[in-house]
């Protein structure tokens, strides 16, 4: 390997390391935003429980915010992993699953947990090995519409 190509290789590795660090920072930031959203929802729920006149958002708005409250992305869902196998492993490892969605063509799924403990446990672990396949666990990413 020549000095020039070795230098390019080192630059490439350095850039990959910087990208990985930036991705970790983004994931942590998204986790903190989710926690703030959960705290906001809980405070509004407490207001609503104490005195319904103090709540300034409608039940429809609250349901919309709560819809994806404990939803995570699970990547690399490939055979031999089936819906039942995936849900059984996730519920055993993290907690109760209340919603599952997987496009038949795509190798990923979206899973809603019943509560914050399952959501946080899965997110903190970051991956789970199922039937010899490493399944990634990530926060949801916002869609970009053109």
- The 10s digit of each residue's pLDDT in 61-104 is 555 555 678 999 999 999 999 999 999 999 999 999 999 999 88
The answer on pLDDT for 52 being more than 50 is: no
pLDDT of amino acid 126: 95
The answer on pLDDT for 51 being more than 50 is: no
pLDDT of amino acid 65: 54
Of 3-7, 43-47, 77-81, the one with minimum mean pLDDT is 43-47
User: What confidence tier does 113 reach under pLDDT thresholds 50, 70, 90?
Assistant: very high
The answer on pLDDT for 145 being more than 60 is: no
pLDDT of amino acid 88: 95
User: What confidence tier does 53 reach under pLDDT thresholds 50, 70, 90?
Assistant: very low
Percent of the chain clearing pLDDT 70 (strictly above)? 69
With H, G, I as helix, E, B as strand and everything else as coil, classify residue 85. Answer: helix
Task: Share the mean pLDDT of the chain.
Answer: 79
Sign of CA dihedral 92, 94, 97, 101: negative
pLDDT of amino acid 72: 95
Q: How far apart are CA 73 and CA 133, in angstroms?
A: 16
Instruction: Please name the residues in contact with 111: beta carbons below 8 A apart, sequence gap of 6 or more.
Output: 71, 72, 74, 87, 90, 97, 99, 100, 101
What is the DSSP secondary structure assignment for residue 53, as one 8-state letter? G
pLDDT of amino acid 75: 95
Residues in the chain: 146
With H, G, I as helix, E, B as strand and everything else as coil, classify residue 68. Answer: coil
């Amino acid at each position: 390997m020549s000095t020039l190509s070795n230098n390019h290789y080192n630059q490439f590795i350095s850039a990959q390391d910087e990208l990985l660090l930036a991705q970790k920072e983004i994931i942590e930031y998204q986790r903190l935003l989710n926690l703030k959203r959960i705290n906001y929802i809980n405070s509004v729920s407490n207001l609503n429980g104490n005195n319904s006149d103090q709540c300034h958002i409608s039940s429809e708005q609250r349901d919309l915010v709560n819809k994806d409250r404990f939803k995570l992305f699970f990547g690399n869902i490939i055979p031999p992993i089936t819906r039942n196998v995936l849900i059984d492993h996730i519920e055993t490892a993290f907690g109760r699953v209340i919603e599952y969605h997987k496009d038949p063509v795509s190798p990923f799924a979206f899973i809603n947990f019943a509560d914050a403990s399952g959501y946080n446990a899965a997110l903190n672990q970051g991956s789970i090995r199922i039937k010899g396949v490493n399944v990634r666990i990530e926060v949801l990413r916002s869609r970009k519409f053109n």
